[in-house]
Structure 1
Amino acid sequence: MKKIILFLAMCLVAFPVRADEGMWFLMFIERLNHRDMEKMGLQLTTEEIYSINNHSLKDAIVQFNGGCTAEIISKEGLVLTNHHCGYNAIAELSTAEQNYLKDGFWAKEKSAEMKPKSLYVRFFVRMDDVSKRILSKVNDKMTETERNKAIQQEMALIEKENNEGGKYTVSVRPFFQGNEYYYFVYQDYKDVRLVGTPPESLGKFGGDTDNWEWPRHTADFSMFRVYADKDGNPAEYSKANVPLQPKHYLPVSMKGVKENDFAMILGYPGRTNRWMPAGGIDQNVKFAYPAWVEGAKTGMDQMKKYMDKDATVNLQYASKYASTANYWKNRQGMIDALTKAGTAKAKFVEEAKFNKWAKKCKNKAQYGNILATINNYYEQTNLKARHDNYLMQLMRTSSYGTTPASLGNALIAYSKENEAKRMEILPKINSLIEGVYGDFYAPLEKDVLAAQLNLYSSKAGEYGLAPLVEKMKLANNGDFTADVNDAVSKSIFANKQSVEVFMKNPNVEAIANDPLYLISTDLMTKIRAKSDELAKLDDDYATAYRDLVQGLRVSKLNSVKYPDANSTLRLTYGKVRALPADDRNDATVNNYTTMEGLVKKYKAGDQEFDLPARMLELNKAKDFGEYADKNGYMPVNFLTDNDITGGNSGSPVINGKGELIGLAFDGNIEAMAGDVIFDSKLQRTINVDIRYILWIIDKYAGAKNIIDEMVIVK
């Protein structure tokens, strides 16, 4: 036993853990992180953070609608997340007459809480390591296809063994590029209702201009509630459902923060690429991301023309526009940050050392040709990466780019059925139609498609365009406006009404010859096409990348000791930490912002920097109540050096006692390379101070009923 303890101690010395870097599995924090966390100010035991048998912090953390994080903050299932995470649900519940995005919403009683059509939260139950079990099913003689098939079969068995007859959702995920596997058990609750949201002028204050920037002054929060049946089990929406009594909820601290205070964040970071080869970084910076940025901006410009003219259209496309704009700025920031940091160059230096190690006799057979294979893959796929990103932005911003193919194929299948079968599947078809055309404005969609086809045909041709698009370009000299106008005027898929007319007399040939269906199918076929040569490149790359990661871990040439993020629950810890002094921030220390700074940014009538009259009145009167800092100012946002990424939006910032002190919502653009390489000097997490959230709920909105159900620590 002493030898084992000595070995573990030596491992911890050999692999030092940085306090601010890393997205860690909760099941390993006792061994890898707890001692460091205690030194920094953690007062909780590991059992209080992660326990299978007893309630713990992990029971208060939920994945919000599959893409963000949220936390439970009351014994009645009250959920706190970001405004931008709840954005789509808030827009869905809004109308031009009752615009909750614009004006805000606060339920004064539970009966006023509103249920969006589709919204769920996912609770994490437990996880376990199944690496040995899964990897015992594969061998080096298998092709990638054979390997993947064997792994998928074993995954399916593990998921079935642990879902308890469908009670739980079980997901087996690969880590370290397929060198390790873990399964995760979740429980989903689908009755989630809107409780409160500040107006967009507060929740999205600063808009695209301030996005990814510091200093920041944004009330990026919204509130929901989880409902369950009378026994506390997940249930579809029903008036008979009751607020969930959670296993654990977070107490809320009003003590405030200061430099070097301990801060940890639990959440569901979406994706990082800390193990990405240098060639992949180069491909993104020079080929993929520039196309993404240009394609996103093209779609945004067309959407904005119509959104600014019509309040209903603005609501319909608010969420799509916001998401597109967010990634547009993110990808440009990634280009700038990765270029400035010389990240690819640093990776090439690391890989040169690895290649030297790999060429040694004992390593050569397994690792000797890895980098040659990887670099060849990127050289052969650079133009494809550019092409695919132009085409993907067309599909993401234009419903006409994807809907005719996907809906059209469903309608073809429907048309071929007999009357009895049609009646059976009609509800699904109608649901699909409603989903497509629920938020749809044909003039906007038409202009987006034309603009995107113009861009795609002019910029992606070096790889080879979709065949029909290529043919049309030769005839129209690269201007698709007239072609798109003509196609829409003749198409079944032009709008919901034309689809409904088709449904009265379904005909396969009508769809097969539909001009929008032909264009959409052409684009979808092109993006999915994979030649035998490309398939082999992909397989060789997958094998080489997996071996590269394993080799870097074995050789100890890479200091990263945690797996890339992949939307599984992680913990990151660090401290409240300032950036260098900035004249744009009125704060004494550049780790927080104040309401005074917020009001200085105010521009009456400006779409990004307007403020409600009540906010200005309360600030003028200095009516901050008990939520003001002890030094007299009203805090708004603050900085920590936690290691987060997309998906952590809405994550709780927690102090050493397990109390909620803030809500993570953004990062700083200077460290935009953070998904690939962590910069301990620059990387910051931008958080809403919980005191500002409480002030808005209480003083601004007058929703004291919401405050009263929280446990407030003063």
Structure 2
Amino acid sequence: MKKIILSLIAGIMLLPMSMKADEGMWFLMFIERLNHRDMQKMGLQLTAEEIYSINHHSLKDAIVQFNGGCTAELISKDGLVLTNHHCGYDAVAELSTADDNLLKNGYWAENRKAEKKPSSLFVRFFVRMDDCTKRILAKVNPSMSEAEREKAINAEIAAIEKENNEGGKYTVSVRPFFQGNEYYYFVYQDYKDVRLVGVPPESLGKFGGDTDNWEWPRHTADFSMFRVYADKDGNPADYSENNVPLQPKHYLPVNLSGVKEGDFAMILGYPGRTNRWMPAGGIEQNVKFAYPAWVEGAKTGMDNMKKYMDQSPALNLVYASKYASTANYWKNRQGMIDALTKFGTAKTKAAQEAKFEKWANKPANKAKYGNVIANINKFYALTNEKSRHDNYMQQLFRTTSFGTIGRTLGRQLDLYVKADAAKRAQVAPQIVEMAEEMYKELYIPAEKDLLAAQLKLYATKSTGYKIAPMVEKIGKENNNDFTGYVNAAFELSIFSSVDKIKAFLALPSQGMLDNDPLYALSNDMLTHFNSKSDEIAKAQNDFSASFRLLVEGLRESKIASIKYPDANSTLRLTYGKVRALPADKRNDATINNYTTLDGQVKKYKKGDQEFDLPTKVIEMNKKREYGRFADKDGSLHVNFLTDNDITGGNSGSPVLNGKGELIGLAFDGNIEAMAGDVIFDSKLQRTINVDIRYVLWVIENFSGAKHIVDEMTLVK
């Protein structure tokens, strides 16, 4: 019997490998023309108008950009919003204290009054979009420098945005596509009164931690819930007790039937950035210079944060969000290095560019395209070492709070010194508030270690490109040990405490500010980071023009057939199917396209930071207390796989069936296809999703918050 079952599984596993993943992050306004028929063949039952409509409610009205970096969806008539746990992480961390740690313990509001408002959180609704390519490109010509071109385009963008914002009611964004060969404008409406409804405990929401991040099989309750509030007329409004839950134009019904291999799945969301037109030289630069520096700098920051996070729950909260963000990209960039190297992506691109070069040097094309590849390669050759340098410095800026103090709090103090008495009186309270917010999110002993460690890494590893003058001087004087200098700088600096900031405001001095050691060091690094030689500036100008021509020529010659634009945080649709990976002994599931609560419990390690579980989960699983959310096979499905084309920014995106019903929540990709931001792999590309039934089980059965599930429209 066992042999028969194994043979059956093996046979099933052959099916996915013969299927083709559907590449593309598509504009909703072109679905009817480009994708609708193909989607119908795969299982879509909606019309294009039901997905995107300007005049009627449609799926797009239920999808929001969440706080500028993730995606979320409306799932009730009363403005209930679902997104990922890691997307709501900052807000939950802000609302947590050492005594009432919502991140660690979880939280579910028993009623509307118990919903909690973070200081700054917004959702952005997409209203409409339109093509403005002809209008913008009419303002430029080939004789312009890139700076002149940018100035002309920005002037026209400003006019378009003003024409469409209806006196400030809407946010309008004009974005370039296909490397500046096309332009579209997007109209949005922002709601800023967004409150926490609930979040599972961190042991579920981050189960697997860094070890499982970007990996499959996965067993994570990566979700959190919020609610959007509006004024009594449904308009955006600042926080007020008088605000009421938003009544959205459309919200998603929730399907409890589960998924099986080959089921249609589409995802709507705000993918952050892909670079699928990137030249071979850019890929080589990232793999050999930029990303290794990113990885090393991120790891240095993580190690120094972790040292303090382990000391107490309070310090863990201070750095939890920054650590999580750093760790996520640390593993992502290492995965990119490995995947791009393994699959020879640069060679694939180089072969494409060789074909382009032949086409470009035909007599009819030479004048326009003949120098394109040469200019692109010259730029990368000139900037390889600079890219390494810049990534070490960027990680210093990202992981320390004082590397960029010159352009944050320092900039405000500089403006304060130069202001008259009346202006000073007006802005002083704002500066104090800014300082207090900043210092709540740092711990000075940790910041000293972070800054000293990152300065040493930067000074000793950025050897191929000249480092910031002040860093070089301090390093030479101290044998590249920055500990003593940093400790002394914090003792002397006005930026080492809120009290010192207040004292400076009471008795401001330009000389004191200019000579402040932390302020001077930050300004020195920022100035150096933003500077470039005339040679690099010229090469960058030529590169920008040539990259645009490369994309134009690749499309014109049909050497490349990418029909969708790169992701750039605008709303896109991607479609595919539920699709397994080859059988994996680590997964107890019958088919390797889903995981179960049994599998999660098997990973359980008591007291482990990444794999601990609430005792209640273990007990409920033992008794098979899955309620109405059990699959027909009797297990509780936790996560599942689809072959949708997504990237960062899609976190929190709804996974929908052919009827537009919610079946899951996208939260990750698989590390084997980490090159997907540059080149799509139809065999390996997968999206990892939370099964919506597991989400509801955590809320209703595990957490006892059935009143929240009762808000939703559940369908079989």
TM-score range, shorter chain: over 0.9
CA offset at residue 428 of structure 1?
3.0
Give per-residue Cα distances to partners, 1:156-214, cap 9 Å, x unaligned: 00000000000000000000000000000000000000000000000000000000000
CA offset at residue 313 of structure 1?
1.3
SS in 2 for 1:230: coil
Give per-residue Cα distances to partners, 1:343-401, cap 9 Å, x unaligned: 00000001000000101000101111100000000000000000000000000001111
> Which amino acid is 1:591 matched to?
N
Tell me the residue number matched to 1:248: 250
CA offset at residue 254 of structure 1?
0.2
Tell whether the 8 Å contact from 2:21 to 2:683 is kept in structure 1 after alignment.
Answer: no
CA offset at residue 535 of structure 1?
1.7
> What is the alpha-carbon distance in structure 2 between the residues aligned to residue 412 and residue 567 of structure 1?
34
Tell me the residue number matched to 1:508: 510
CA offset at residue 503 of structure 1?
1.8
Residue 180 of structure 2 corresponds to residue 178 of structure 1: yes
> What is the alpha-carbon distance in structure 1 between the residues aligned to residue 336 and residue 420 of structure 2?
53
- 1:267-282 alignment to 2 at 5 Å? 267-282=269-284
> What is the alpha-carbon distance in structure 1 between the residues aligned to residue 302 and residue 538 of structure 2?
37
- 1:132-211 alignment to 2 at 5 Å? 132-211=134-213
CA offset at residue 19 of structure 1?
6.0
Tell me the residue number matched to 2:587: 585
Tell whether the 8 Å contact from 1:81 to 1:221 is kept in structure 2 after alignment.
Answer: yes
- 1:419-568 alignment to 2 at 5 Å? 419-568=421-570
Give per-residue Cα distances to partners, 1:100-132, cap 9 Å, x unaligned: 000000001111000000000000000000000
* TM superposition score normalised by structure 1: 0.97
Tell me the residue number matched to 1:355: 357
Q: Which has the larger displacement, 603-612 or 498-507?
A: 498-507
> Which amino acid is 2:609 matched to?
Q
- 1:603-642 alignment to 2 at 5 Å? 603-642=605-644
> What is the alpha-carbon distance in structure 1 between the residues aligned to residue 124 and residue 643 of structure 2?
27
CA offset at residue 406 of structure 1?
3.0
> What is the alpha-carbon distance in structure 2 between the residues aligned to residue 178 and residue 608 of structure 1?
44
Residue 105 of structure 2 corresponds to residue 103 of structure 1: yes
Tell me the residue number matched to 1:28: 30
> Which amino acid is 1:238 matched to?
S
Tell me the residue number matched to 2:229: 227
SS in 2 for 1:177: coil
Tell whether the 8 Å contact from 1:404 to 1:493 is kept in structure 2 after alignment.
Answer: no
Tell me the residue number matched to 1:401: 403
SS in 2 for 1:402: coil
> Which amino acid is 2:279 matched to?
P
Tell me the residue number matched to 1:87: 89
* TM superposition score normalised by structure 2: 0.97
Tell me the residue number matched to 2:9: none
Tell me the residue number matched to 2:10: none
Tell whether the 8 Å contact from 1:454 to 1:479 is kept in structure 2 after alignment.
Answer: yes
CA offset at residue 655 of structure 1?
0.1
Give per-residue Cα distances to partners, 1:476-533, cap 9 Å, x unaligned: 1111111111111111111222212222211111111111111111111111112322
Give per-residue Cα distances to partners, 1:616-675, cap 9 Å, x unaligned: 111111100110000100100000000000000000000000100000000000000000
Tell me the residue number matched to 1:707: 709
Identify the match of residue 643 of structure 1 among 639, 642, 645: 645
> Which amino acid is 2:47 matched to?
T
Tell me the residue number matched to 2:348: 346
Tell whether the 8 Å contact from 1:594 to 1:635 is kept in structure 2 after alignment.
Answer: yes
Structure 1 regions of 5+ residues with no counterpart?
A: 1-16
CA offset at residue 312 of structure 1?
1.1
Shift in alpha-carbon separation, 1:404–1:446, aligned structure 2, 3 A: farther
How many residues matched? 698
SS in 2 for 1:609: coil
Tell me the residue number matched to 1:7: none
Tell me the residue number matched to 1:677: 679
Tell whether the 8 Å contact from 2:574 to 2:644 is kept in structure 1 after alignment.
Answer: yes
Tell me the residue number matched to 2:266: 264
SS in 1 for 2:368: helix
> What is the alpha-carbon distance in structure 1 between the residues aligned to residue 646 and residue 177 of structure 2?
18
Tell me the residue number matched to 1:9: none
> Which amino acid is 1:605 matched to?
G
> What is the alpha-carbon distance in structure 1 between the residues aligned to residue 384 and residue 298 of structure 2?
19
CA offset at residue 310 of structure 1?
1.7
Give per-residue Cα distances to partners, 1:295-352, cap 9 Å, x unaligned: 0000000000000102111111111000000000000000000000100000000100
> Which amino acid is 2:463 matched to?
G
> What is the alpha-carbon distance in structure 2 between the residues aligned to residue 28 and residue 355 of structure 1?
31
Tell whether the 8 Å contact from 2:21 to 2:643 is kept in structure 1 after alignment.
Answer: no
CA offset at residue 404 of structure 1?
4.3
Shift in alpha-carbon separation, 1:575–1:702, aligned structure 2, 3 A: same
Q: Where has structure 1 moved over 3 Å in runs of 4 or more?
A: none
Tell whether the 8 Å contact from 2:432 to 2:501 is kept in structure 1 after alignment.
Answer: no
Give per-residue Cα distances to partners, 1:3-23, cap 9 Å, x unaligned: xxxxxxxxxxxxxx9761000
> What is the alpha-carbon distance in structure 2 between the residues aligned to residue 428 and residue 549 of structure 1?
46
> Which amino acid is 1:123 matched to?
F
Q: Which has the larger displacement, 243-252 or 429-438?
A: 429-438
Tell me the residue number matched to 1:123: 125
> What is the alpha-carbon distance in structure 2 between the residues aligned to residue 108 and residue 169 of structure 1?
34
Identity of aligned residues (%): 72
> Which amino acid is 1:245 matched to?
Q
Tell me the residue number matched to 2:661: 659
CA offset at residue 614 of structure 1?
1.1
CA offset at residue 417 of structure 1?
2.1
> What is the alpha-carbon distance in structure 2 between the residues aligned to residue 317 and residue 68 of structure 1?
20
> Which amino acid is 1:230 matched to?
K
SS in 1 for 2:356: helix
Tell whether the 8 Å contact from 1:19 to 1:37 is kept in structure 2 after alignment.
Answer: no
CA offset at residue 405 of structure 1?
4.7
Tell me the residue number matched to 1:304: 306
CA offset at residue 693 of structure 1?
0.2
Tell whether the 8 Å contact from 1:71 to 1:651 is kept in structure 2 after alignment.
Answer: yes
Tell whether the 8 Å contact from 1:251 to 1:713 is kept in structure 2 after alignment.
Answer: yes
Tell whether the 8 Å contact from 2:379 to 2:536 is kept in structure 1 after alignment.
Answer: no
Identify the match of residue 66 of structure 2 among 64, 67, 71: 64
Identify the match of residue 598 of structure 1 among 597, 600, 606: 600
Give per-residue Cα distances to partners, 1:574-625, cap 9 Å, x unaligned: 0000000000000000000000000000000000000011111111111001
RMSD, matched Cα = 1.0
CA offset at residue 47 of structure 1?
0.3
Q: Which has the larger displacement, 52-61 or 496-505?
A: 496-505
> What is the alpha-carbon distance in structure 1 between the residues aligned to residue 37 and residue 407 of structure 2?
55
Give per-residue Cα distances to partners, 1:395-439, cap 9 Å, x unaligned: 000111112453223212212222212112223323332332221
Tell whether the 8 Å contact from 1:266 to 1:652 is kept in structure 2 after alignment.
Answer: yes
Tell whether the 8 Å contact from 1:77 to 1:244 is kept in structure 2 after alignment.
Answer: yes
Tell me the residue number matched to 1:44: 46
> What is the alpha-carbon distance in structure 2 between the residues aligned to residue 567 and residue 584 of structure 1?
35
CA offset at residue 148 of structure 1?
0.6
> What is the alpha-carbon distance in structure 2 between the residues aligned to residue 545 and residue 428 of structure 1?
44
Tell whether the 8 Å contact from 1:197 to 1:222 is kept in structure 2 after alignment.
Answer: yes
> What is the alpha-carbon distance in structure 2 between the residues aligned to residue 508 and residue 86 of structure 1?
41
> What is the alpha-carbon distance in structure 1 between the residues aligned to residue 345 and residue 592 of structure 2?
27
> What is the alpha-carbon distance in structure 2 between the residues aligned to residue 191 and residue 448 of structure 1?
35
